[in-house]
Amino acid sequence: MKTVADPRRDPVVDDRLHVFVPALMGVGMIVSGILVIADWITGMLPNGRVRRKQEIATGAKGVVVSVAQAAGHDVLGPDFRSREWRSRWAYLAGVLFSAGIGGVALLAGLLAYNDDAGLFYRNPWMVGLGVGTAAVVGLLGLQLLFFAVVYRRSFSAAHVLVETTWFGRLKPPPEEPAEFARSLHLIGREGNP
Amino acid sequence: MGRNLKVPVDYQYAQFLDGRGSVATDVGGKASSLDRLVADGFPVPRAAVIHARAYRAFVREAGLEPFLKELQHGPLPSADEIAADRTRVEAEFLEPEMSPELEDEMRALVGEFLSDGPIAVRSSATAEDMVTASFAGQYETFLGIRTAEEALVAVRRCWASLWSPQVRSYRRREHIAEDDLAMAVIIQSMARAIWAGVMFTRDPQGSALDIKVEAVPGLGDDLVSGRVTPHSFVIDRRSLAIRARGERSQLDFLEDLARLGRRIENRAGSPQDIEWAMTAGGLRVLQARPITVARPLAVHDDGFDTRGSGHDEHTPRGVSEMLPGVVPPLLWTINAPMLEDAFRSLFAKIGVPSAGVGRRVVGRFRGRATLNLSVLREAASALPGGSGEEVERQYLGHVLDHDHDHEVPEARGGVVARLMGAFRNWRANRLLADEVQLIRHAVHGIVQLDIDLGRLPAERLLRYRSRIRDLAWRIYATEVAASSAAAGAYRALEVQIGRWLGEDEGVQWAQRLTAGTLAESSVGAGRVNRLRMIYESHATGTPALQSALREGGSEPRARIEALGVRGLAFLEEVDHCVRGFGAQAVYAGRTWSEDMVGVWSQLSSFARKRDPAENGGDSLAELIGILKGSRRWQLKRVITGQLIDMRLRMLRRMVEEATLFLRCREDAKSSLLVLGGAERRAIFEMADRLVASGHLSFMGDVELLSDGELEQMLQGAEPVFGQELERRRRAVARARDAGPLPEVFQGDPDSVGPSEVPTGPVMQGWAASPGVARGKARVLGSLEAGTALEPGEIIVAHSTDPSWTPLFLVAGGIVLEEGGPLSHAAIVAREFGLPAVLNVSDATQAIATGEDLVVDGTTGAVRRIAQQQSAGEDRG
């Protein structure tokens, strides 16, 4: 009589070949490892929430404005896509980081140029690369130092740079709908109050 | 063309139709419509209109009033008498002398046209081209008039046609009032037609996605009168491709004509029946009016019910929370197109845009909204893992027994296409939460603007309303998409837990895990919480206020006002808060501010009853504890080498997803209702103006108008007559009396006989919220009846909607005839920890108020104590 395998039999518990379980376990461990790394990387990455919130608030403002305009009014409200000053410590940290990177680049370039056993001995390109990197990073550091010194003082050029480039951080818009609504103000147009 | 006219200013009884606006009561429906076409820039032949007041002056001067009264109140002629009756009416209008002033003016007017060639003289009655009664072909039209004498006779004949026997008969059949009827007459240059005909922008006999064109060579008069057989063409509305044609293979202007038709329909806001002519100078529009399909109306049909397609199955389940009960014409015509579009948009998103093409997803029978189950099955079966049975389970709570006629057709497209559809669905779901956030922000912003609508000119008011409506369309689409995503995620959670712990456990755990969904939503608990905060800040330490609220009643305002400053401050805050709640249950429907019964009931419950149950928070931890405690679970984890327990990780993600989509759905719903409050304000402002202008007798009558009628009346179009409104009012009342629709029906709901009312001691339903409650039954037919609800009583009702939420805090348990796992009642009941059993057939008929019940929300059983005892005695 032909024997038919019981489909309800659990392949995990009844692993008679002693191959399935170790293979499965190996795959499980690998996947677990990947998940741990993925979690770590995800945690490190800056999330895009603020930008998404800005887009949401800007889109919502557009809808509100269009409704108000249909009724002959206009709406005053903040620009939800703006940026703001980072903390002073962030600028100072940037200065230190730039100084470090610039110093290392300059030193490495010079050492490589003078290392008679090295590949780049007397190679002027290495000095140029080191000096160039140090100069660029140094300028960046100076800029950051400038921001740390003038921090939030009324200096228009600094404000423009902070509000329009990554020197400033994205400004979170109002989180709650009610708060968002309070930031908008109806104004008259075409003779309406 | 009308735009190039020099407009004479000295006509007392006439005006040119130059698009500068006309008063419908002066120029009649057809002329008013022509004037709007001119205003919108459509190519209309040069035309003028002799006002209805010329007719009135003639009737007065000729002493015809007694004769017309006799026609109005006398019997209609029999078939043998019709010809004689017509001759008699014409003679009464042709014989009397016309005042010289009127005659001179009419001669001057037609003289301006005759100098350019022959003219057409067309009737334009003040009761014509209504949405529900077009009077198509009922009144006279005379073509090819070449002299002023002929024109004057034609004008008189047009006037007489207002009282022809067939028109009187038509009016009586349609219940259209005959008081103050009048006839304006259009004088129009004849279009020298090469081809002419009619065009229906939605094929009345075929698909609503097609345009139908009928054409004859030369003048279209023979076609309209039915004397010749036209060439027929069916044109796809979107691609403008010709789908069916008559003998003639092609007319080279058909595409332009179809495009013109679409534009006119877009402007008018409803499908149009357009008379057109193709001349050497291009296409001309001779007239356009709403398409009406003549059909006898059932006593409970107000004219807005759907005609069943015969083969499709419909169900009220699943849509009765969005459009609860009998939906009056205004709310129906506002909401139905948006909901239909939302479903179509969902189908397109999941890759099945062709599901149910040409058939409506949303219908209306006996005034109540339904979904086309056949179309939904078709759409679901096209998705990987989807099936018609899943749709039934979601909407009906069980799977139907199908015979072969109702089998779902095979899904179209290959595996790749279906997977692509699933991928698109997944991607769209990712963006849902952001879309919902945008909507919530925008709606709050709009409500906070608080624009003074009373000061807006009509045009601005309409534009404001149109922008609000644009957002509502968007929210509807989001809500339907979120509902679909929530249903999918919830079912996946049920199935997954069911695999580990068994099917029943899966169902119960899915309920518990999603019980906290509404915590921040304003549809349910959020709304309750805001009122509670106000109550606590004012009533704590003010026993008089607590006592005033505890006394209950539908309107304790006077008692609270009598408390002085503290009472007034409390009322002010409550009113302000309630205004932000918007509509109670349906977009643009009754608002919480209009009807405070639910609010007072809620506030009085704070003085009498418990807090909402603390639910959901630790359920996941509890479930994880159970799962991890199982040896089998631990063994599998070790064997499969899970350093991280991937099953728990998946479980958490599934719970997060189900909760997120449920919250998205509730937030979208909440936003829709709040925005609906803003639209409601605009509607009331419009109604107020129509009452002031005499177009409406009462503000409440606005609910009986269609959306298009309301808008057109505000723009000066013909009012819907009182008699027609009365007919609709009676039909709506009869539809309410007719009671709920069957769970599923094909074609006509009346074809399904009444089900047998259960009499047994145990009624079985769907276990929606776990727990056991014992109490007296309170059978509720409406929210208003809820004021009689005593604490701890079991609510027994057909279905509920968000406006019922306040009652849930007072009730001890819930028994409903409708509702699925994701229905509002189920979610709110779980939120408040109320045992609830849904989908109990005929519960409202079987159970009587005051009867002792035990509601077991864990097993889905409703036990009737008296019946159980008598059954026990019988056995004994």
Contacts of A72 in chain B (CB under 8 A): 456, 460
Distances in Å between the Cα of B490 and the Cα atoms of B481, B607, B655 are: 14, 36, 8
Q: Are residues A71 and B643, on separate chains, in Cβ contact within 8 Å?
A: no
Contacts of B471 in chain A (CB under 8 A): 63, 67
Residue that the structure tokens 């397609």 belong to: B309
Q: Which residue has the higher pLDDT, A36 or A18?
A: A36
What's the rounded mean pLDDT across residues A141-170? 87
- Locate A113 and state its tokens: 């140029």
* Torsion angle of the four alpha carbons B166, B168, B173, B174, in this order, in degrees rounded to the nearest 10: 110
Q: Are residues A73 and B451, on separate chains, in Cβ contact within 8 Å?
A: yes
Q: Are residues A192 and B471, on separate chains, in Cβ contact within 8 Å?
A: no
Among the residues of B314-354, which ranges form H helices? 329-349
Asked if B154 and B187 count as a contact pair (C-beta separation under 8 A), the reply is no
- Locate A34 and state its tokens: 């990947």
Q: Are residues A25 and B639, on separate chains, in Cβ contact within 8 Å?
A: yes
Rounded to 10 deg, the angle between the B415-449 and B329-349 helix axes is: 140
- Residues facing residue B797 across a β-bridge: B780, B816
Q: How confident is the model at residue A192 (pLDDT cuts 50, 70, 90)?
A: very low
A58 SS3 class: helix
Task: Tell me which amino acid residue B384 is.
Answer: P
Residue that the structure tokens 């002792």 belong to: B852
Asked if B500 and B678 count as a contact pair (C-beta separation under 8 A), the reply is no
- Between strands B242-245 and B231-236, the pairing is antiparallel
Asked if B806 and B599 count as a contact pair (C-beta separation under 8 A), the reply is yes
pLDDT in tens, B519-549: 545 455 667 778 888 888 888 778 888 888 8
Asked if B665 and B479 count as a contact pair (C-beta separation under 8 A), the reply is yes
Closest Cα in chain A, distance from residue B431 (Å): 11
User: According to the model, what pLDDT value does residue B408 have?
Assistant: 46
Length of chain A counted residue by residue:
193
User: According to the model, what pLDDT value does residue B229 have?
Assistant: 66
pLDDT in tens, B44-99: 888 999 988 899 889 888 888 888 888 887 777 776 777 788 888 889 899 888 88
Asked if B305 and B367 count as a contact pair (C-beta separation under 8 A), the reply is yes
Share in percent of chain B as helix, strand, coil (round to 5): 50, 15, 35
pLDDT above 60 (res B571): yes
Give counts: helices (H), strands (E), chain B. 29, 23
Residue of A nearest to B454 (CA): A71
Share in percent of chain A as helix, strand, coil (round to 5): 60, 5, 35
What's the rounded mean pLDDT across residues B165-174? 73
- Select from B447, B471, B638 the Cβ nearest to the Cβ of A63: B471
Contacts of B463 in chain A (CB under 8 A): 70-71
Q: Are residues A71 and B636, on separate chains, in Cβ contact within 8 Å?
A: no
Q: Are residues A71 and B445, on separate chains, in Cβ contact within 8 Å?
A: no
DSSP letter, residue A120: T
What's the rounded mean pLDDT across residues A81-95? 91
Q: How many CB atoms lie within 10 A of CB A11?
A: 11
Q: How many CB atoms lie within 10 A of CB B740?
A: 18
Asked if A175 and A139 count as a contact pair (C-beta separation under 8 A), the reply is no
* Torsion angle of the four alpha carbons B833, B839, B844, B850, in this order, in degrees rounded to the nearest 10: -30
DSSP-derived secondary structure for B29-57? HHHHHHHHHHHTT-----EEEE-HHHHHH
Contacts of B636 in chain A (CB under 8 A): 12
- Select from A21, A57, A73 the Cβ nearest to the Cβ of B441: A57
Q: Looking at beta carbons, which pairs linking B252-259 to residues 24 or more positions away fall under 8 Å?
A: B253/B195, B253/B278, B253/B283, B254/B213, B256/B283, B257/B199, B257/B213, B257/B283, B258/B199, B258/B211, B258/B213
Which among B493, B541, B807 is positioned nearest to B651, based on CA atoms?
A: B493
- Select from A29, A52, A193 the Cβ nearest to the Cβ of B643: A29
Provide CB contacts within 8 A for B299, sequence distance 6+. B730, B731, B734
Q: Are residues A26 and B641, on separate chains, in Cβ contact within 8 Å?
A: yes
- Select from A56, A67, A70 the Cβ nearest to the Cβ of B434: A56
- Report the complex ipTM: 0.76
DSSP letter, residue B758: P
User: According to the model, what pLDDT value does residue A11 have?
Assistant: 52
Phi, psi of B189 (to 5 degrees): -60, 140
Q: Which residue has the higher pLDDT, B407 or A58?
A: A58
Q: Is A187 on the interface with B (CB under 8 A)?
A: no
Q: Are residues B642 and A24, on separate chains, in Cβ contact within 8 Å?
A: no
Provide CB contacts within 8 A for B335, sequence distance 6+. B322, B323, B327, B586, B587, B588
Q: How confident is the model at residue B794 (pLDDT cuts 50, 70, 90)?
A: very high
- B interface test, pick of A29, A35, A51, A64 with most B CB neighbours within 10 Å: A64
Q: Is A68 on the interface with B (CB under 8 A)?
A: yes
Phi, psi of A86 (to 5 degrees): -75, 175
User: According to the model, what pLDDT value does residue B128 have?
Assistant: 57
Contacts of A11 in chain B (CB under 8 A): none
User: According to the model, what pLDDT value does residue B874 have?
Assistant: 59
pLDDT in tens, B252-265: 888 889 888 888 88
User: What is the spatial distance between Cα A141 and Cα A154, in angstroms, rounded to a whole number?
Assistant: 21
Closest Cα in chain B, distance from residue A24 (Å): 5
Asked if B349 and B425 count as a contact pair (C-beta separation under 8 A), the reply is yes
* Torsion angle of the four alpha carbons B526, B532, B534, B537, in this order, in degrees rounded to the nearest 10: -130
- The per-residue pLDDT of chain B, averaged, comes to 80
- Select from B441, B642, B646 the Cβ nearest to the Cβ of A180: B441
User: What is the spatial distance between Cα B696 and Cα B693, in angstroms, rounded to a whole number?
Assistant: 8
Residue of A nearest to B434 (CA): A56
User: What is the spatial distance between Cα B317 and Cα B819, in angstroms, rounded to a whole number?
Assistant: 7
Provide CB contacts within 8 A for B694, sequence distance 6+. none
- Residues facing residue B236 across a β-bridge: B210
User: What is the spatial distance between Cα A93 and Cα B815, in angstroms, rounded to a whole number?
Assistant: 64
Phi, psi of B37 (to 5 degrees): -60, -40
Q: Is A87 on the interface with B (CB under 8 A)?
A: no
Buried b (16+ CB within 10 A) or exposed e, A80-102: beebebbeeeebbebbeebbebb
Q: How confident is the model at residue B225 (pLDDT cuts 50, 70, 90)?
A: low
- Locate A24 and state its tokens: 């499965």
Residue B7 exposed, middle or buried by CB count within 10 Å (0-12, 13-18, 19+): exposed
Q: How many CB atoms lie within 10 A of CB B435?
A: 20
Q: How many CA atoms lie within 13 A of B73 on its CB side?
A: 6
- A interface test, pick of B431, B441, B679 with most A CB neighbours within 10 Å: B441
User: According to the model, what pLDDT value does residue A45 have?
Assistant: 65
pLDDT above 50 (res B404): no
Task: Tell me which amino acid residue B601 is.
Answer: S
Q: Which residues of B touch A (CB under 8 A)?
A: 434, 437-453, 455-456, 460-461, 463-464, 466-468, 471, 635-636, 638-644, 646, 649
User: According to the model, what pLDDT value does residue B126 have?
Assistant: 74
- Select from A32, A71, A75 the Cβ nearest to the Cβ of B641: A32
Length of chain B counted residue by residue:
876
pLDDT in tens, B41-57: 888 888 999 988 899 88
Q: How many CB atoms lie within 10 A of CB B240?
A: 15
- Residue B458 host element (H or E): helix B458-501
What's the rounded mean pLDDT across residues A23-45? 79
pLDDT in tens, A55-82: 999 999 999 999 999 999 999 999 998 8
Residue B717 exposed, middle or buried by CB count within 10 Å (0-12, 13-18, 19+): buried
Sign of torsion over alpha carbons B387, B389, B394, B395: positive
Q: Is A192 on the interface with B (CB under 8 A)?
A: yes
Contacts of B460 in chain A (CB under 8 A): 70-72
Instruction: Name the E strands within chain A.
Output: 73-76, 83-85, 168-170, 185-188
Residue of B nearest to A36 (CA): B644
User: What is the spatial distance between Cα B868 and Cα B874, in angstroms, rounded to a whole number?
Assistant: 10
Contacts of A59 in chain B (CB under 8 A): 438, 442
N-term to C-term CA, chain A: 95
- Residues facing residue B14 across a β-bridge: B50
Task: Tell me which amino acid residue B167 is.
Answer: V
Q: Are residues B448 and A13, on separate chains, in Cβ contact within 8 Å?
A: no
pTM: 0.67
User: What is the spatial distance between Cα B160 and Cα B303, in angstroms, rounded to a whole number?
Assistant: 29
